[in-house]
Amino acid sequence: MGDNVARFQKEFAAYFGMKHAVMTNSGSSANLIAVASLFFKKDRPLQRGDEVIVPAISWSTTYHPLQQYGLKLRFVDVNLETLNIDETKLEEALTPRTRMIIAVSILGNPAPLDVIRDFADRHDLYFMEDNCESMDAEIEGRKTGTFGDLNTFSFFFSHHISTMEGGMVLTDDTELAHLCLALRAHGWTRDLPVGSPLFERRSNDHFEAYRFILPGYNVRPLEISGAIGREQLKKLPAMTEARRRNWAVFHGLFAGDERFIIQRENGKTSCFCFTIVLNPKRNPNRERIFEALRDADIGFRIITGGCFLAHDAIKYFDYTTVGTMENAFTAHELGFFVGNHPYDLTPQIGRLRDVLDRACR
């Protein structure tokens, strides 16, 4: 790391109106150090066995750090129209052991972050926002990735901006920011500014440069990633607008067709893809539809990571569910997405519509 990483951190924080940004080598690593930081807070740290409320659909590394730090997951189903956590079930999910809630805005569509922020404040919960899939989305003019005590982003090559691999943690909490800085780089003090609340600097510089205060990692980004990120950030507003224009075309062609359930926009999307769930009430032939997409050479894949409860890794987790995960399993079994890009895709979206229309007759 060097000057470009430092500048990218400052510019990224400024873009989102936050005080602190800590860049990592991936969004997954950002999730890891963000979760870890809450275990090393001076006041009210998380403890193993504490419960965390999570949505049933997200990428795997939303969940893995929670398991690795001994937290118990409390899964809540998603709203089938938005694919985000069903906020009407939050009170039911709450138990005396609940200490934290994680919100994930799926594929550019903001989760009900304002509702979740209020819920977390009323119940004295830590709120972490995994915004790796929804950079530059908004709710009433406020950017996603700014509602949580900790907020994470990804710069993977298929996401809104790319440093090939890279991630970021945003926070307004100085202690959490400094914890993330130490955890990012071996758990040492070298990257912490003078006056950090985490430790008192001693006089012997020979040993101080190699002073380890936390059980950390090495998830530092490369300097070239910071340089690329600075240029990508300049392009973000225009790329977001291009994606939103494509979203309007997609929505115009698919909205109202009862064969397909598409995302109902909450706030302003920053979609880098278009999601489609085949309506289970129409008894769709999933394999015939998928074969038609393959024959047309239209790339598609599972929505995010699908329902995490459907994956083999769940056997390693301590978890409970709030009722059935009917919507999450429906999206897992009958859902898919195709890519969006920051240029005009009107012909491609029209062709997608034609292929699906024929396959679903």
Geometric angle at alpha carbon 299, from 310 and 84, rounded to 5°: 45
CATH 3.90.1150.10 fits 236-359, yes or no: yes
Lowest mean pLDDT, pick from 56-65, 202-211, 295-304, 348-357? 202-211
Q: Is the model's pLDDT at 206 over the cut of 90?
A: no
Class of domain 3-230: alpha beta
Local structure of 22: helix, strand or coil: strand
Rg (CA), the chain: 21
Q: What is the mean pLDDT of residues 327-353?
A: 97
Given the DSSP bridges, would you call strands 335-339 and 273-278 parallel, antiparallel or unpaired?
antiparallel
Q: CB-based contacts of 361: which residues, under 8 Å, 6+ apart?
A: none
- State the pLDDT at residue 155: 97
Look up the pTM and report it.
0.96
Local structure of 73: helix, strand or coil: strand
pLDDT in tens, 106-129: 999 999 999 999 999 999 999 999
- State the pLDDT at residue 280: 96
Given the DSSP bridges, would you call strands 150-154 and 167-171 parallel, antiparallel or unpaired?
antiparallel
- State the pLDDT at residue 77: 98
Average per-residue pLDDT in the chain?
Answer: 97
Helix, strand and coil content of the chain, in percent to the nearest 5, comes to: 40, 20, 40
Q: How far is it, in rounded angstroms, from Cα 52 to Cα 102?
A: 7
Q: CB-based contacts of 272: which residues, under 8 Å, 6+ apart?
A: 107, 108, 133, 158, 159, 160, 243, 339, 340, 341
Q: What residues does each domain of the chain span? A: 3-230, 236-359
Q: List, in sequence order, the alpha helices (H) in 109-214.
A: 113-122, 174-184, 205-208
Query: What percentage of the chain reaches a pLDDT higher than 70?
Result: 100
In this structure, what are the phi and psi dihedrals at residue 90, rounded to the nearest 5 degrees? -65, -45
Question: Among all residues, which ones are annotated catalytic?
Answer: 159
pLDDT in tens, 304-332: 999 999 999 999 999 999 999 999 999 99
Q: CB-based contacts of 176: which residues, under 8 Å, 6+ apart?
A: 20, 34, 37, 38, 41, 149, 150
Q: Is the model's pLDDT at 67 over the cut of 90?
A: yes
pLDDT in tens, 32-48: 999 999 999 999 999 99
pLDDT confidence band for 208 (50 / 70 / 90): confident
